[in-house]
Amino acid sequence: MSKTILITGASRGFGQLWTKAFLQQGYQVAATARNLASLKELKAEFGSQLLPIQLDVTDREAAIQTVQQTHQQFGHLDVLINNAGYGLFGSVEETSEQQARDLMETNFFGLLWLTQAVLPIMREQGSGHIIQVSSVLGLITWPNVGLYNASKFAVEGLNETLASEVSDFGIHVSLVEPAPYATDYAGSSAVRTQPLPAYEPLKARLQAGYADLPVGQPEATTAAILQLIESEQPPLRLLLGKLAYPLIKQGYNSRFAEWDAWEEVTTAAQGV
């Protein structure tokens, strides 16, 4: 039986590439975007196989209705992919309250509302796969994207917990963690803080380092996502891109080195 997939953030980048790949694979797809014009060509090509839905993921009631509409249209809902999100560039000190709240509303709470909405359906089915698009920056951090790091760390903690709560219902949870790719993450969809002169030297060093950073091709991820969806035992975490594993390994080795150096103090803090 063809799978039914609900994917958010389908207007561009990974979301649109994956949506097209799913349709070409014969899946039924409900694809959400703030502007449905971005899905017009796919709708014309694939007809009733695609259900475009206008959605702002921060609207909890609209998120619930989107899940219900998808289920009513196709009769079942096999996969949820929470892909909607954006980058916020700037130091922690530079970030305004509104920028911080807006980012968490989309990157974390929007994902949470849709996840909560699909769980009753998947529990009733006795099956389902929830795929959350995180980042390597949900496992390690880079300067100048502190709030983005925080939003993805929150996604990681939430879904590692969720996976342990829903496995008895036949529901799988996967975190997709891309390294840098040539998407619009740092382009028109990004938000930038009001800069403070004190951080300009740091930003200049970062910018110089990014110039030599090998950036992945978004199109190359589709085969991995299709394999993830088709897997009977999908992993909790799937890194994407050749930079991902060495970056994570370096980050965790650094953590263990520091924990080892302070192990005596850690143990003494137990008391008797």
Q: Which are the catalytic amino acids? A: 134, 148, 152
Distance separating alpha carbons of residues 217 and 25, to the nearest angstrom: 20
Residue type, 17: L
Cα dihedral sign for 10, 119, 46, 226?
positive
Ramachandran region, residue 91 (left: φ > 0; alpha: ψ -120 to 50; beta: rest)? beta
Q: Which residues of 10-36 are buried (b: 16+ CB within 10 A; e: fewer)?
A: bbbbbbbbbbbbbbeeebbbbbbbeeb
Residue whose structure tokens are 């996967």: 174
Distance separating alpha carbons of residues 50 and 227, to the nearest angstrom: 21
Distance separating alpha carbons of residues 177 and 138, to the nearest angstrom: 8
Which residues fall within 8 angstroms of residue 11, CB to CB, at 6 or more apart? 33, 34, 35, 38, 39
Query: Which residue from 113, 116, 119 is spatially nearest to 58, judged by alpha carbons?
Result: 113
Locate 254 and state its tokens.
């650094």
